[in-house]
Amino acid sequence: MAKESYKRDKPHVNIGTIGHVDHGKTTLTAAITSVLAKQGLALQRDFGSIDKAPEERERGITISTAHVEYQTKKRHYAHIDCPGHADYIKNMITGAAQMDGAILVVAGTDGPMPQTREHILLARQVNVPALVVYLNKVDIADPELIELVELELRELLTEYNFPGDDIPIIKGSALKALDG
């Protein structure tokens, strides 16, 4: 697959996916490229091409940061898919230090987990200026649980001096978006 080339005539944004292991960061990254590829704005990247290392594919986790490019009608994005596993947190820090904004991915089935908290703290410490939350797996979670998870997330974001009441929380299923 040839590398997509982009004209540099749009504002550039460094964005990243952060959050707990297995909450769907890489699946969301693949889904974003899939949706944008249908509009001719990206090269579609599947899960396996984002998690490239044999150990990543074997264990089903992201170990090193992966880089994906895409664009929308208004912006060009360099997207960093960060590892969520605690053993690879230093790789997340390296990626987060370059971010203009981050997508905090949280599984609606689990809610905030230890690396969710740690990633929010690290985003604050390296001054990631903007966050949006993607509440994933809402198709398989109880609607009342989703409401509780959203409240818990807003409190957690506020605890780390992010505007918890104002940060957008987008609810969806990265897997369903990826599957079309």
Catalytic machinery residues: 22, 25-26, 85
Among candidate residues 132, 139, 144, the one with its CA nearest the CA of residue 173: 139
Structure tokens at 92: 């997340």
> Under 8 Å CB-to-CB from 9, ≥6 apart: which residues?
none
- Do the Cβ atoms of 70 and 81 come closer than 8 Å? no
Residue linked to tokens 């952060």: 18
DSSP string, 74-85: S-EEEEEE---S
